[in-house]
Amino acid sequence: MRLDSADDCAEPMTHDRVRSLSLSSLPMQDPKEPEPLWLEVDRALEDWLGPDDAALRSATASANRAGMPAIAVAPAQGRMLQVLARAIGARRILEIGTLAGYSAIWLARALPADGRLVTLEIDPERALVARENLARAGLSERSEVVVGPAADSLDALIRAKIAPFDMIFIDADKRNCPVYIRHALAIARTGSLIVVDNAISRGRLIDSSTGDPHVDGLRAMMDFVSHHPRLEAAAVQTVGAKGYDGFLIATVVDERLPTIAG
Ligand SMILES: C[S@@+](CC[C@H](N)C(=O)[O-])C[C@H]1O[C@@H](n2cnc3c(N)ncnc32)[C@H](O)[C@@H]1O
């Protein structure tokens, strides 16, 4: 690929391309189920880098007992979130989508003793289980589970002029991702990190023809991020215990670095 011609550099062609892609035109295997190798590697990574401990295992067990779907992050992903939070020295973390508090435990553990994790959950029963799990992990003091539709809770936090969050982890209903990313920006500061789970959704992200609000929400979020002057983002595809998916990771900046496309 030549990069020296004005035409090549002129306009990000990819935007037009992703607007009209359909996965049905691509030869592919069914990416729904994790491959045995991915599972083995995830287990090995857990053994090396930090397996679930009693509190995390108990959070998973309580979610299973309560009949919650197995949609928490994998241990290796929880660890990645924790490392990211530590890397930026996060003192205040916001999570959108609590479930049983599994990722909340990983994140809250990255905080200093006087740090704060606020996590938003629409389902009161899930919130109750999450509070119990955070308490069992010894994290009640630095965490708060807020019940209600996340968009409303975010509005309330913004109205209350809550102090900005250093890290925001978006992991709730994907149809509302555009709403969440806008709100996240409103309660972030320059240097805050925004992480979005399930950003690739088995490759469906690039499919403009699904008619699935989950996919359309992700696509609208990508459009928003790609144009926003205060967001600098990367997205990575992942495989592992959770199958084929990925994360969007964005940092809030004063001004974006120039890209090749200008
Ligand atoms: C993928 S799960 C979160 C998993 C959790 N972050 C973890 O890894 O342990 C998504 C959660 O978002 C919650 N949720 C869905 N729609 C929501 C909404 N509009 N507002 C707040 N929470 C919502 C669901 O009830 C569910 O518990």
Average pLDDT of every residue of the chain: 91
3-state helix, strand, coil in the chain (%, to 5): 45, 20, 35
Tokens of residue 67, six digits: 């009949």
Domains defined for the chain, CATH in brackets: 36-252 (3.40.50.150)
Query: How many other β-carbons are positioned within 10 Å of the β-carbon of residue 67?
Result: 7
Whole-number pLDDT of residue 1: 30
Residue 115 Cα, ligand 1 centroid: separation in angstroms? 22
Site to probe by mutation for ligand 1, drawn from 147, 153, 171, 218 as the one with most ligand atoms within 8 Å of Cβ, is: 171
Whole-number pLDDT of residue 16: 66
Residue 171 Cα, ligand 1 centroid: separation in angstroms? 6
Whole-number pLDDT of residue 5: 36
Taking CA atoms, 158 is separated from 46, 179, 186, in Å, by 37, 13, 7
Whole-number pLDDT of residue 6: 35
Which amino acids bring their CB within 6 angstroms of ligand 1? Answer: 71-73, 97-99, 102-103, 120-123, 126, 149-150, 171-173, 176
Q: How confident is the model at residue 22 (pLDDT cuts 50, 70, 90)?
A: confident
Round to whole Å and give the CA distance between 18 and 29.
20
For the stretch 37-95, pLDDT in tens is: 999 999 999 999 988 899 999 999 999 999 999 999 999 999 999 999 999 999 999 99
Round to whole Å and give the CA distance between 250 and 167.
10
For the stretch 102-144, pLDDT in tens is: 999 999 999 999 999 999 999 999 999 999 999 999 999 999 9
Residue 156 has pLDDT above 80, yes or no: yes
Q: How confident is the model at residue 217 (pLDDT cuts 50, 70, 90)?
A: very high
**Residue ranges of E strands in 15-129:** 92-96, 116-121
Q: What is the position in ligand 1's atom list of the atom closest to the CA of 101? A: 9
Which residue, by CA, sits nearest to atom 26 of ligand 1?
Answer: 99
Whole-number pLDDT of residue 33: 80
Residue 13 has pLDDT above 60, yes or no: no
Q: What is the position in ligand 1's atom list of the atom closest to the CA of 63? A: 9
| CA 5-8-12 angle, 5° bins | 150
Site to probe by mutation for ligand 1, drawn from 62, 81, 94, 121 as the one with most ligand atoms within 8 Å of Cβ, is: 121
Residue 173 Cα, ligand 1 centroid: separation in angstroms? 6
For residue 22, give every residue at least 6 positions away whose Cβ sits within 8 Å of its Cβ, in sequence order, or none: 207, 208, 209
Q: Which run of H or of E encompasses 64?
A: helix 54-65
Round to whole Å and give the CA distance between 45 and 115.
28
